[in-house]
Structures are given as structure tokens and as C-alpha cells.
Amino acid sequence: MGPLKDRPHMSSYSRPPRAATEGLRPDWETEAAAENGRYPTPHATALPPASAGRPAEAPAVDPPPCADPPALAAVLAELVELLPGLRAALDRQARPGVPRLAYRLSEVADALGLSRRSLERAVASRQWPPADLRLGRTRLWRVATIESWLTQQTAGRRGGAR
């Protein structure tokens, strides 16, 4: 027998009877229902009315006492030593990267604001140019191909895109 057949009150297409799930409601639901008068629960009055539905505020915490000045000076000196290396790393990241020569189907779809599936349909119906290059199962389109297709599409319409 399957896992649902072991339970006589359940089948694959029905929900369990209400009595089987009656005591399994989350506390927030039973409290809200009790406040609305749907059914009483013993823990419905656990929250005072002023704080019902609002999270409790965190108690104020005093800031930790200031670290001793020699330790603070040592940490600052270490940070000063690290700063040139961090600046160099940021400069390396800021350099312009190599421009892309070709894009995958999903990247073209993202750039055009289409879903991947919509672009796959356009390729299959020959509304979109075939891939310029295939590497295994990966199809790649050159930037020039994408730009020329966009130019043809917008040139065919008077007044630009609609």
C-alpha cells in the first residue's frame, strides 16, 4: 500500500477531515480567531491588548566601554598598512574588462528583455537570425549580428518601436 492508503481518512485527492487538523493551527491564527470571536482558546489572552500584533521592542543596551588607547592605536596602525593594498585591489577591479565578442541565448534574451523561451521560439520560427557559432550545444551570437537585427527591426517600422 502507498503512503496515503495507510491512512483511511486520506486519499490522493482529498484533504483530511477537519477534526484531524483542528488542534494543529499555529498560535498566531488561533489567537487572531479567538479575538474575532470565532472560537475560544486558553492561550488567546497571553498577549496584552496594547501589544497585540506588534513585535516587542528590544531593551536598550549600553555601548561597550572604550578599548584601551594602546590597543586602538595598534589596530589603526595595522589598518594604515593595509590601505595601499586595498586601494591597489580596487584599482585593478576598476579597469575596463575585455569587451564581449559573442553572447549566449540567455544573455541575448536578458539584454532584449525577453524570456529565454520566447527567444528560443523566435529562433525556431526564423524570426531571429541563426547562431553565428556553436560550441557543443552552446549557441553564440556576435554583437554585430544582434545590432544589425535590431536595426532591421526598427528600420522596418515608421516612427520607431511601438
Which residues of the chain carry a pLDDT beneath 50? Answer: 1, 41, 43-47
Contact between 34 and 40 under an 8 Å Cβ cutoff? The reply is yes
pTM over 0.85: no
Please provide residue 143's backbone torsions phi and psi, each rounded to the nearest 5 degrees.
-60, -40
**pLDDT (tens digit, 9 = 90+) per residue, 54-83?**
566 666 666 666 657 778 888 888 889 999
Picking from 100, 113, 102, 101, the residue whose alpha carbon sits closest to that of residue 141 is: 102
Residue 143 has a pLDDT of 94
- Residue 16 makes CB contacts below 8 A (sequence gap 6+) with 7, 9, 10
Residue 63 has a pLDDT of 61
